[in-house]
Amino acid sequence: MLHSKLEADHHDTPDRRGDERYVTVLKVGRAVINGHDQLCLVRNMSQKGAKIDVRHNVSVDEKVKIELRSDKVVTGTVRWTGDHVAGVEFDEPVDLADLLKPRPNRSVLRRLPRAPRFECEGVAYLEHDNGVITGVVSNISLHGLCIETHVVAHIEDRVTVRIDGLPARAATVRWVAPNMLGLHFDLPMGYSELARWLDDHGVQHVPGPESR
């Protein structure tokens, strides 16, 4: 059973266990467990399960959704836990080649698949050629953020982003919408840096009775 294989993986991580092939992944993702978002690091994965590092404690038999990208989401159940690590059994076997396929540079869809976003609360100050733009941070990822603001900016505008609790970062305006701006960082945030910031500024959703 996968349960026993995942338990073995907690102590040993060879590339193969029996007939099941495990692939070292080291991909940052978003784990949703009992309605709570948290940053996770997928260490290795097979068609039937994965070993993930988690920021906050999880419990055996909890349901989990893992988002590696907006178009790459899997669901499963926690089968074992350790010190900020968990083994997850997927609800259905996955196609590893498809799941781990690099993000396309172009897409027939209007938007390309994107890295996991995290809803958050914070104020952003964008130093712009025309002054300082103030906005409310709506969501954030390792690579950028979305802010709500009434100030007009333009695609490809260069800004310096300042958010309480984070170092200043150079960024480019990638998209604009009514009262919203999407920014891409020149250099991505670090995993631990974003995880610590989300501890204080992340928005958590309490699941309703229908999702328990």
Place of tokens 């781990």: 100
Which residues span the domain enclosing 137?
118-201
Among residues 49, 64, 99, which one ends one of the domains?
99
Q: How many domains does the chain have?
A: 2
Same domain, 55 and 127: no
Distance CA 192, CA 190 (A): 6
Q: What is the per-residue pLDDT across 29-82, written as a single tens digit (0 to 9) for each? A: 999 988 788 889 999 999 999 999 998 889 999 999 999 876 788 999 999 999
Pick the closest to residue 157 from 136, 137, 178, 182 (CA basis). 182
Note the pLDDT tens digit of each residue in 114-127.
678 888 889 999 99
Does pTM surpass 0.85? no
CB neighbour burial string for 142-160, b if at least 16 within 10 angstroms, e if fewer:
bbbbbbebeeebeeebebe
**The CATH number of the domain where 128 resides is what?**
2.40.10.220
